[in-house]
Structures are given as structure tokens and as C-alpha cells.
Amino acid sequence: MSAGDAAPPVSGQAPGQAPGQAPGQAPEWTPDQPMVRLAEVRKSFGDLDVLKGVSMAVMKGEAVCIIGPSGSGKSTLIRCINALTEIDSGSITVEGIEVSDPGLDKLALRRKVGMVFQQYNLFPHKTALENVMMAPVHVLKQPKAEAEARARALIGKVRLEGREDYYPGELSGGQQQRVAIARSLAMSPDVMLFDEVTAALDPETVKEVLVTIQELAEDGMTCILVTHEMGFARRLADRIYFTDNGVIVEHGPPETFFTEAKDPRTRAFLSQIL
């Protein structure tokens, strides 16, 4: 993980386009620029303004946690990053690719951006191994033997060796969620998005999933997580972002965020959950 202070200030930055970049042309992205950058992102559903000008910047190798009350727009924000939800205005770039570009190659974006949800959505009639192999074989057209070797390695990485031939129904919630993480990693993403991935799990299986995520982050994977696990956020994150009512109220490194939050909304939220 790189230091949180490597990121440029997030407020008041100009939207997406790099200097000298022609419209519609992907700029040259280099790792000294934010890997994921949101600038003044707005999104409404009908009359409901869910994102009201959200800006953030995540550098390669950083782990960032987003916390905030229910309904504050956290899931919407991360769904916008891999174009599952279209933004109304502002800019989101992933490695310099503008996500809201009408000509966006969504497959190319989703190869860069892995996402894991609260619901693991594994195919119930496929084994753990088959679930992990599926996208590389069918989407990336990888040769089966190659996809299988990599899937086995990934199942090992999420500490499920020996469970390759189990069906989802034969695995605990925590084990299924780790298969879902391996399935996402099989596409070799550059950044992983996690939306409350432990929220539906029994308390005793939460930890094993958090350990998997922690190991990924320690290996240098860029991670953006929505989580209610504050102890975990504190240990893992380079920066914590607090959202409320469609805006980022404040952000900072965990060492100071939990003890020196400035905004009354952040303090009220933290006093309820800590």
C-alpha cells in the first residue's frame, strides 16, 4: 500500500480531461496519476439527488474505505465506477479512461475493475472451480487448461484449496464470498470494488473474508471498499471517506479520521457506531 498522502487534493479539482487531451481520445495514463478519479460526479434517480458532486482520487496500490449512513449513496458511487450506473454529470476515469464516454468499451473497463457485492451470485450448478474459470474461458477466450491452472491458484490464494469441486450450496457464506472474490480476480483487474461484502455473513465467517481482502491489499491491489466494519477499515485503509446525503463530508487517514473528525455529521455518525 502506498502512502495516503501521495494523493492530490480531491476538492475543487477540474474534471477528467488531461491537458492536451483531444476530446474522445484516451489520455496516456501513468501511475503517478490517480488510478480512479471522480470529479464532481452527480447522479439522480428521478427527483432524488443521490450523488451531489462527489470527487475523490485513488492512487495505484491504495486501499480506500467509504463509510456513511444507509442511503447516502455509497453503492451508487461504486456502481458508477464500473459503469453499472450511468452518471448524469462530472467525470470518472479509471486509468485515464472516461467511464461516461458514450464510446466506452465496457468489457475493457470491467477487465480493469473487479467488483464484489454483498450477494455472491455464484452459479449454483457449477463448482467453485468452474465458477472461477467461467469468465476467463467464455469472455476472455482463455484456453481451458490455462484458465483452470489460474483458477486453482486463485482458489488457493483465497485459502480454499481442497474445495475446488464443491458446489456453492456445499460451502459456507464466507467460503462462497471468497469464491466470488477469486472469480473476480480471475479477470486480472487493476482495481477491486467491494460493496459491503461481509454484510450478509455470519459473524464467524466475516473474519476469513476480511483476511482475504487484507492480503489482497497488502499484495498491492488497489481497493475501494464500502464497509461497516470499522475496526477493519481502520487497519486496512490508507484513507477513509465519509459520505452523507450525496456528498463526501470529509476524508483522511484512519489514524486521524476516527479521533479528529471535524464535521459534526462525521462525529455524530462515528459516535453511533464506535
Return the H-helix or E-strand segment holding 243: strand 239-244
Taking CB under 6 A as the binding criterion, the range among 30-38, 42-50, 205-213, 217-225 that sits at the site for ligand ATP is: 42-50
Taking CB under 6 A as the binding criterion, the range among 71-79, 142-150, 253-261, 262-270 that sits at the site for ligand ATP is: 71-79
Q: Using CB under 6 A, which of 35, 38, 39, 50 touches ligand ATP?
A: 50
Q: Measured from the CB atom, is 71 or 143 closer to ligand ATP?
A: 71
Residue 72 binding Mg ion, by CB under 5 A: no
Bridge partners (DSSP) listed for residue 153: none
Scanning the structure block, which residue is given the C-alpha cell 470518472?
A: 92
Residue 70 binding ligand ATP, by CB under 6 A: yes
* Contacts to ligand ATP from residues 76-95, by CB under 6 A: 76
Q: Using CB under 5 A, which of 75, 93, 175, 176 touches Mg ion?
A: 75
* Binding site partner of 132, from ligand ATP, Mg ion, none, Cβ cut-off 5-8 A by kind: none
Helices (H), the chain: 74-81, 106-112, 128-138, 144-157, 173-185, 203-218, 230-236, 254-260, 264-273
Lookup: cell for 139: 469472455
Spatial distance between the Cα atoms of 123 and 233, rounded to a whole number of angstroms: 30
Spatial distance between the Cα atoms of 67 and 240, rounded to a whole number of angstroms: 7
Contacts of 256 (CB under 8 A, 6+ apart): none
Minimum CB–partner distance for residue 88 and ligand ATP (Å):
13
Minimum CB–partner distance for residue 227 and ligand ATP (Å):
10
Residues forming the site for Mg ion (CB under 5 A): 75
Residues forming the site for ligand ATP (CB under 6 A): 45, 48, 50, 70-76
